[in-house]
């Protein structure tokens, strides 16, 4: 096409304020230019950051992003994915609550990327983005160990949770490989501030000098409850959270937390998905990308009492 013809067309476009009709275009091309991101809870700071990254990335690449909040319900998730099927070019499932079989069924024939989920069991061939939670657990323990802590408690999250089991693994491994560390595992608690409050007593039962919480919200719950009974952090006890969400910056003291860059996490998922979409042929090699979390030391960890 010649230069001046293009210019003439573009001039007309501006002249008439012409905007292509997406519906017609989608109909004809069989592509909608929209991808979906499904999360269990938009309000959760973890997913909020994830969404933020995904949004930025898809926007930059000219795709629309529609975010679905399943309110933690597997049924809603399945339903929404089914409903979206024809309206999107691909879908990202973050921390899917669907059991393997239903997950496989839900995404069958759909271009899809899984976040925080190992599809191996599910018989799904899909790219994956995960965080090396074991490494994170390991880092947390080693950090505390380095400060002199030997009695470390872990306040666990939901028993079935993928992250929970991985984090626990990493923590156990680190504790086992370090000299003289006693690991005190404390039950299973809801992954929110109330869970943390509920765990506050039990976490102290075996007199740890440091506590690792399943996530930042649990850590904040512990902090709040301890503060009421006069326990000071980090003077009396050290505390480490997981996920490194923005709430870690809000507490007093600021929370030491280990987590990956969640925005980058979301961006990566989008990139992987668009890559899949743009390569027309169905690729059978499904890349598994793993992000390494980083321990961010803030003010909630210090040497234990005896070592001051």
220 binds a copy of itself (CB under 8 A): yes
Does 264 interact with a copy of itself (rule: CB under 8 A)?
no
Q: Does 246 bind a copy of itself (CB under 8 A)?
A: yes
CB of 1 to DNA, least distance (A): 4
> Binding to DNA by residue 279, rule CB under 7 A?
no
Task: Please list, in sequence order, all residues whose beta carbon lies within 8 angstroms of the beta carbon of residue 70, skipping any fewer than 6 positions away.
Answer: 38, 39, 40, 41, 76, 77, 80, 97
d(CA 103, CA 78): 8
Give rounded-to-5 percent helix, strand, coil for the chain: 45, 20, 35
Nearest by Cα to 294 from 241, 244, 220, 219: 244
Beta carbon nearer to DNA, 30 or 306: 30
- Choose from DNA, a copy of itself, none: what does 14 bind? Cβ within 5-8 Å by kind: none
- The residue whose two tokens read 């519906």 is 23
- Which pair of tokens denotes residue 54? 């995904």
190 binds a copy of itself (CB under 8 A): no
Q: How many other CB atoms sit within 10 Å of the CB of residue 236? A: 13
- In terms of Cα–Cα distance, which of 93, 100, 136 is closest to 115? 93
SS3 string, 218-233, reads HHHHHHHHHHHCCCCC
CA 94 to chain centre: 7
Stretch that binds a copy of itself, among 51-59, 96-104, 137-145, 278-286 (CB under 8 A): 51-59
Total residues contacting a copy of itself by CB under 8 A comes to 45
Q: From a copy of itself, DNA, none, which one binds at residue 2 (CB under 5 to 8 Å depending on kind)?
A: DNA
Give the x-and-dash track for 13-32 against DNA (CB under 7 A): -----xxxx--xx-xxxx--
Residue closer to DNA by CB (options 5, 43) is 5
193 binds a copy of itself (CB under 8 A): yes
Nearest to 238, CA basis, from 149, 133, 119 = 149
Binding residues for DNA (CB under 7 A): 1-2, 4-5, 18-21, 24-25, 27-30
Residues that bind a copy of itself (CB under 8 A): 19-24, 26-27, 32, 42-43, 45, 48-49, 51-52, 55-56, 64-69, 71, 85-87, 193, 217, 220-221, 223-225, 227-228, 246-247, 249-254
């Amino acid at each position: 096409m010649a230069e001046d013809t293009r210019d003439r067309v573009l001039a007309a476009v501006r002249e008439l304020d012409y905007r292509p009709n997406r519906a017609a275009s989608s109909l004809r091309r069989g592509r909608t230019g929209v991808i979906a991101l499904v999360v269990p809870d938009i309000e959760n700071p973890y997913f909020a950051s994830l969404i933020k990254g995904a949004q930025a990335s898809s926007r930059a690449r000219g795709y629309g992003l529609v975010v679905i909040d399943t309110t933690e319900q597997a049924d809603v998730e399945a339903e929404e994915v089914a409903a979206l099927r024809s309206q999107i070019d691909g879908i990202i499932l973050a921390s899917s609550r669907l059991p393997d079989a239903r997950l496989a069924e839900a995404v069958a024939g759909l271009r899809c990327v899984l976040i925080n989920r190992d599809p191996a069991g599910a018989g799904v061939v899909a790219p994956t983005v995960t965080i090396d939670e074991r490494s994170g657990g390991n880092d947390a323990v080693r950090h505390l160990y380095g400060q002199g802590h030997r009695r470390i408690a872990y306040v666990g999250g939901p028993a079935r949770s993928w992250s929970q089991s991985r984090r626990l693994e990493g923590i156990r491994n680190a504790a086992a490989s370090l000299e003289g560390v006693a690991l005190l595992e404390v039950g299973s608690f809801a992954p929110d501030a109330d869970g943390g409050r509920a765990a506050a007593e039990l976490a102290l039962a075996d007199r740890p000098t440091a506590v690792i919480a399943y996530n930042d919200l649990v850590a904040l719950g512990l902090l709040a409850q301890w503060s009421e009974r006069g326990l000071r952090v980090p003077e009396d006890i050290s505390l480490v959270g997981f996920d490194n969400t923005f709430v870690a910056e809000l507490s007093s003291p600021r929370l030491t937390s280990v987590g990956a860059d969640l925005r980058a996490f979301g961006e990566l998922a989008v990139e992987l998905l668009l890559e899949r979409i743009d390569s027309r042929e169905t690729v059978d090699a499904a890349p598994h990308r793993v992000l390494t979390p980083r321990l961010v030391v803030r003010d909630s960890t210090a040497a234990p009492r005896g070592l001051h």
